[in-house]
Amino acid sequence: MSTVLVIKAHPKTEAVSNALTIGDRFIETYQQTHSQDQILVHDLYAEGVPEIDSSNLDSWKKLTNGVTYQELSKNEQILLSRQQQLQAQFIQADKYVFISPMYNLFLPNRLKMYLDLVIVSTKTWVEGEHGPEGTLHDKKAIHIQSSGGTYHHTDNAFMATLDMGDSYLKALLGQVGIKDYQGIYCEGNSHRDADDMAANREIIAKEAEKAAKEF
């Protein structure tokens, strides 16, 4: 049995979000074709993400300097407990599904905050003889992304270079050992009327369903 961690990083709901609608189709198909697997869903906007701020960094420093968990303040304990829970959940998963829109050629800020929290030294990578070495092997990830422009379904190679969020996610996961990565892109939404958008969304949803069966 595999554990699938679904990371929803969209402030909208399924009723108005192309990415979330397609993501739900992916999840439904995956459940139907992998009935023994466990699916965990973490909605970053509904549930929130602990922010790495001065209080957070101070707590980490205290632990590094020998302060015990019990000696931390109640608020520090709550914050660190939530962080450790998210980190353990991420590390223990076998497969990852990231669902997000593109914001200014990058990822939504809460997804970046989440990645900063769970991708950490000694847990997801270690310093090897020739540089960082990932510790999360034999895992796979898929990124379902919506965007107003067209960056992948085009012959214009330059446009693909502008999708820095997807490139970053792929590179970051690769650094920690997750090399099996694919993207599903619902694009050009700013240039479509309602009917065209619905038709394109259905095409991409079917692509997602096919990917789910093989994931």
Binding-site residues for FMN, in ranges, read 102-105, 146-149
Tell me which DSSP letter residue 40 carries: E
Tell me which DSSP letter residue 177 carries: T
The closest alpha carbon to 173, from 201, 143, 198, belongs to 143
Residue 201: both structure tokens together: 């969304």
How far is Cα 146 from Cα 149, in angstroms, rounded to an integer? 9
How far is Cα 215 from Cα 213, in angstroms, rounded to an integer? 6
Residue 86: exposure state from Cβ atoms within 10 A (0-12, 13-18, ≥19): middle
The closest alpha carbon to 186, from 155, 211, 210, 208, belongs to 208
Detail the residues annotated as belonging to a binding site.
102-105, 146-149
**Signed CA dihedral, 167, 33, 15, 90: sign only:** negative
Residue 136: both structure tokens together: 């999360």
How far is Cα 193 from Cα 73, in angstroms, rounded to an integer? 54
